[in-house]
């Protein structure tokens, strides 16, 4: 059985919700599919806040400069300019829609985070910014009668016909059987892929399915080697890898080793406020030097009353595991957190596959370059989610036809894939996650990456179902791109090529189903730009 709608949005985080609202405001029907609950997404777990140049002592140009600096030479300057300029308007819109950012005396409160030159981070309820934004967007979406939500409906693949995306194949949440939903066009807003790593701050739904589905359907992916590892995830036996926000270091938290010594000033002039990739690698180096598995975040310079008010969710979570923020050193270590790469888009969210758009962490807009500036991700989802929603309507407003792909032209072939047993699925994920952490993690080498690819190739011969196949596909693409880039830049560090090499490697990696890995010689690229195929085979 197949269903129809005007447009499909996959994912209900900040990008997906904002895109759906933009579409529905035109009178078009839009169906939002989510793998889990409607309010379960990476956005909900965003603690630190959202960066925007709205304070009296800040400027859009400074936000742009900080973003470009963090991106290590690979940001698309046009995309960054859109982010920082349009972001102000969209944040004001969120406030008008009822988002309750923290205030003092009626004025918005801005905090500091790493690599920002100004205090420009808005937060809500201390450390629950993402949850508050999702609440406000869901409330706003509820006012649009043309938005239909389909929860617990895991999308397995994209349907294509004659080189264009025309719908999705998903698991019906009631009968747990495959079902097709057709539309004029689709927007991917399915989030990142942190669950590919053994240690991650991401929720269970962040498995990279959107990237894998786009790749299988023929869309290009870019910059898959750039993965951001958050330096400070709670590291306690039996506890989840709970994120201890960047804002804690922005508010004066310091990192100490096993001997209680503060070590970050020895690694970087900005100490704890250095870029995340540098802090993460510094922590790894310090753990190796001291032969320990953790370092410690020290917030004891602050009183308990302030910490309880500023970081209420973190405060209560730590108390649940026997830690008092104002008294105890908090054991931490890095964990996979955010993907800079993803499905390659232009400035309106169009991918290289007709009828397919992407926004948020699943997309690679060029905003983040090789390393995301802290708290730019929520702003990117908001701004480019709205732009994708507007573009999809403008591009297909006069197209009243719902395209019906034949099974022969469905490039993802999900119907032909055997359903894996629960045991196989769990075994595959367990092995892939360990390989990604140990061999494609914070520090990489040619030998470690080649070994990971060899094992991924062996796993690929197992009888995998669609979602397990997606999981393995994204892991393989990250390892391929990481092996191809023989330098260190941003979130990609090769100990056998530890230096940044702008002469040879100031390019974007491009991966597609129909060709070997290549690169774009342009830094300010879009899918319509000329691609210089360097054919650096791996």
Helix (H) or strand (E) run with residue 213 in it: helix 209-217
Given CA atoms 353, 359, 363, 364 in this order, what sign does their dihedral have? positive
Helix, strand, coil: what percent of the chain each, to 5?
35, 20, 45
The residue length of the chain stands at 538
Active-site positions?
276
Residue keyed to tokens 């709670």: 234
DSSP state string for 215-268: HHHT--EE-TT-EEEEEEEE--TTS---B--HHHHHTT-EEE-TTS-B-GGGT-
Q: Which two tokens stand for residue 413?
A: 């072939």
| Residue in the block written with tokens 């949440």 | 173
Residues 250, 254, 257: CA angle, nearest 5 degrees: 150
Residue 76, Cβ density class (10 Å: 0-12 exposed, 13-18 middle, ≥19 buried):
buried
Where do we find the tokens 């993460």?
280
> Distance (Å, rounded) from C-alpha 337 to C-alpha 316?
22
Q: How many CB atoms lie within 10 A of CB 463?
A: 11
Q: In what order do the strands lie in the sheet with 227-234?
A: 227-234, 330-339, 295-298, 254-256
């Amino acid at each position: 059985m197949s269903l129809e709608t005007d447009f499909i949005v996959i994912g209900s985080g900040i990008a997906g919700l904002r895109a759906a609202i933009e579409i529905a405001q035109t009178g078009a029907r839009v169906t939002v599919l989510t793998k889990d609950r409607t309010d379960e997404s990476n956005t909900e777990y965003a603690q630190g806040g959202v960066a925007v140049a709205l304070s009296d002592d800040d400027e859009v140009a400074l936000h742009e400069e900080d973003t470009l600096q963090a991106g290590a030479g690979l940001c698309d300057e046009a995309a960054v300019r859109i982010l920082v300029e349009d972001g102000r308007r969209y944040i004001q819109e969120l406030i008008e829609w009822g988002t309750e950012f923290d205030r003092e005396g009626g004025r918005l409160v801005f905090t500091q985070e790493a690599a920002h030159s100004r205090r420009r981070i808005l937060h809500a309820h201390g450390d629950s910014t993402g949850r508050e934004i999702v609440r406000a967007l869901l409330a706003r979406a509820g006012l649009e009668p043309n938005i239909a939500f389909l929860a617990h409906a895991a999308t397995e693949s994209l349907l294509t016909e004659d080189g264009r995306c025309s719908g999705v194949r998903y698991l019906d949440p009631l009968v747990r059987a495959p079902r097709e939903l057709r539309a004029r066009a689709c927007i991917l807003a399915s989030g990142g892929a942190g669950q590919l790593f053994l240690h991650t701050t991401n929720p269970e739904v962040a498995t990279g399915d959107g990237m894998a589905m786009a790749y299988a359907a023929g869309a290009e992916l870019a910059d898959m080697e750039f993965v951001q590892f958050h330096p400070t995830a709670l590291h306690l036996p039996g506890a989840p890898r709970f994120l201890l926000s960047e804002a804690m270091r922005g508010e004066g938290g310091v990192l100490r080793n096993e001997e209680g010594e503060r070590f970050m000033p020895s690694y970087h002039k900005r100490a704890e406020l250095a870029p995340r990739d540098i802090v993460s690698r510094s922590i790894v180096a310090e753990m190796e030097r001291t032969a320990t598995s953790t370092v410690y975040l020290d917030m004891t310079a602050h009183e308990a009353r302030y910490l309880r008010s500023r970081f209420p969710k973190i405060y209560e979570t730590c108390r649940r595991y026997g830690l008092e923020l104002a008294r105890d050193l908090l054991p931490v270590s890095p964990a996979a957190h955010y993907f800079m790469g993803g499905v390659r888009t232009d400035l309106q969210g169009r991918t290289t596959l007709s009828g397919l758009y992407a926004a948020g962490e699943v997309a690679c807009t060029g905003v983040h370059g090789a390393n995301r500036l802290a708290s730019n991700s929520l702003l990117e989802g908001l701004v480019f989610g709205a732009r994708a929603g507007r573009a999809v309507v403008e591009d297909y407003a006069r197209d009243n036809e719902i395209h019906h792909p034949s099974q022969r032209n469905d490039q993802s072939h999900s119907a032909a894939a055997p359903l894996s047993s629960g045991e196989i699925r769990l075994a595959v994920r367990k092995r892939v996650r360990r390989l990604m952490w140990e061999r494609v993690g914070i520090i990489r080498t040619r030998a470690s990456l080649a070994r990971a690819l060899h094992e991924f190739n062996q796993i690929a011969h197992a009888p995998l179902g669609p979602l397990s196949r997606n999981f393995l596909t994204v892991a393989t693409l990250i390892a391929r791109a990481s092996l191809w880039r023989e330098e260190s830049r941003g979130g990609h560090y090769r100990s056998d090529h530890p230096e940044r090499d702008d002469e040879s490697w100031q390019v974007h990696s491009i991966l597609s189903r129909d060709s070997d890995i290549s690169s774009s010689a342009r830094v300010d690229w879009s899918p319509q730009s000329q691609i210089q195929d360097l054919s650096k085979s791996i």
